[in-house]
Amino acid sequence: MPSFNQSIFHPAVFFLTGIPGFETYHAWLSIPFCCLYAIAISGNGMILFVILTESSLHEPMYYFLCMLSFTDLGLCLSTLVTMLCIFWFNAREISFDACIGQMFFIHGFTFMESSVLLAMAFDRFIAICNPLRYATILTNSRIIKVGFAIVIRGTMPLVPLLLLLKRLSFCRSHVLHHSYCFHPDVMKLSCTDTKINSAFGLAIVISTAGIDSVLILLSYVLIIHSVLSIASPEERKKAFGTCVSHINAVAIFYIPMISLSLVHRFGKHAPPLVHTLIANVYLLIPPVMNPVIYSVKTKQIRKAMLKIFSLKLI
């Protein structure tokens, strides 16, 4: 009897979910997912390689882009194994400790990406509103300090959050709604009081992504005010053009994240397929789209990539 109770209240494993209702087609569905992972990993890897090897791109703007690609790459690799194992081998089991570890990396890279987007907004603000002091404000030493601060800010709050999760008892279904471990999803399976966990998790989200989104919005209000004061329409167009890629990156990051949070908060009666699709969009769209956006919209990145490819062909 003790071992039976222990298995009920402290699960050794959780069961991940693929695409509900399409289990027989998982092998075929793995093809588009493999393509998305391949695009995300190769695209972000190429951005990192180009920026690190091309001396002309050793500028603050591209260092922050390098950080963005690093977080996107980490987010992809955090779920690659579990997701493909479900589609290829129907291996849905994940141990409780492995689930905790995966949550640490998924949420950590998510919060880091939010901080990077804020740093990139600050970079654009300085470049447009105070261009004469750009080089003196964003020095290499300060960018390194910002990078360390982003890592600490993204990971340190998760330690107490996940320790609070380990104290919970689980006596309901151990089946998760996603192909990876997500904190609100795991917390819902607990049969004990989760008010502290929920409040602490909400506080972390507000203090990271919430504050970041407000500051990003504020920075663009100031940027727009500064740009509109420029007399020349050509100069206005050029100034706005430097922000287009970042605005797109902010949109494709925050819209899926907010949608997933709303579904978990208010979509208790939504079909499981809705949870799964939004979770996969949140996970894969930003890492896939960011390299595409910056490769297409940023002339310097595009030229550096063409240069590397031409040298390889020669």
pLDDT digits 0-9 by tens, 139-155: 999 999 999 999 999 99
Are 68 and 290 within 8 A, CB to CB? Answer: yes
- In whole angstroms, give the CA distance from residue 83 to residue 35: 13
Q: Tell me: the pLDDT tens digits for 167-177?
A: 888 876 788 88
In a domain, 17, yes or no: no
Read off the tokens for 120. 């990139």
Query: Is residue 3 over pLDDT 50?
Result: no
Q: What is the CATH number of the domain that holds 135?
A: 1.20.1070.10
pLDDT at residue 299 above 90? Answer: no
Nearest to 181 by CA among 64, 102, 283, 298: 102
Cα–Cα distance for residue pair 107/113, rounded to 1 Å: 10
Task: Look at residue 272 and tell me if it is in a domain.
Answer: yes
Q: Of all helices (H) and strands (E), which one includes residue 95?
A: strand 93-95
Q: What is the pLDDT of residue 199?
A: 93
Task: Summarize the confidence of residues 237-252 as an average pLDDT.
Answer: 88
Has residue 52 got a pLDDT over 80? yes
Structure tokens that stand for 253 in this block: 């990051």
Domain containing residue 268: 23-310
Angle at 189 between CA 188 and CA 192, to 5 degrees: 85
Residue 93 lies in a domain: yes
- Tokens at residue 64, please? 């922050």
Higher confidence at residue 170 or residue 59? 59
User: What's the one-letter identity of residue 88?
Assistant: W
Question: What average pLDDT score do residues 122-142 get?
Answer: 92
Q: What is the pLDDT of residues 177-209, one digit of tens each?
A: 889 999 988 988 888 888 999 999 999 999 999
pTM metric for this prediction: 0.91
pLDDT, tens only, 87-113: 999 899 999 999 999 999 999 999 999
The 8-class DSSP code of residue 24 comes to G
* Residue 13 belongs to some domain of the structure: no
What pLDDT is stored for residue 305 in this prediction?
Answer: 82
Please report the pLDDT score of residue 211 as a whole number: 96
pLDDT digits (tens, 9 = 90+) for 250-269: 999 999 998 888 887 777 77
Residue 103 and residue 181 in contact, taking contact as beta carbons nearer than 8 Å:
yes
178 assigned to some structural domain? yes
89 burial via Cβ count (<10 Å: 0-12, 13-18, 19+): exposed
Nearest-angstrom CA–CA distance, 118 and 215: 7
The residue with greater pLDDT, 146 or 299, is 146
What's residue 311's pLDDT? 63
- Flag whether 199 is in a domain: yes
Euclidean distance between CA atoms 86 and 188, whole angstroms:
22
The tally of domains found in the chain comes to 1
Among 127, 118, 137, residue whose Cα is nearest residue 239 = 127
Whole-number pLDDT of residue 122? 95
Ranges 54-58, 221-225, 252-256, 270-274: which has the least confidence: 270-274
Q: What is the pLDDT of residue 7?
A: 42
Distance CA 260, CA 267 (A): 9
**Whether the predicted pLDDT of 229 surpasses 90:** no
7 belongs to a structural domain? no
Q: Is there a domain that residue 229 lies in? A: yes
> Helix, strand, coil proportions of the chain in percent (round to 5)?
80, 5, 20
3-state secondary structure of 219: helix
Asked if residue 6 has pLDDT above 60, the reply is no
**DSSP assigned state of 177:** S
Arithmetic mean of pLDDT over the chain: 88
pLDDT of res. 170: 82
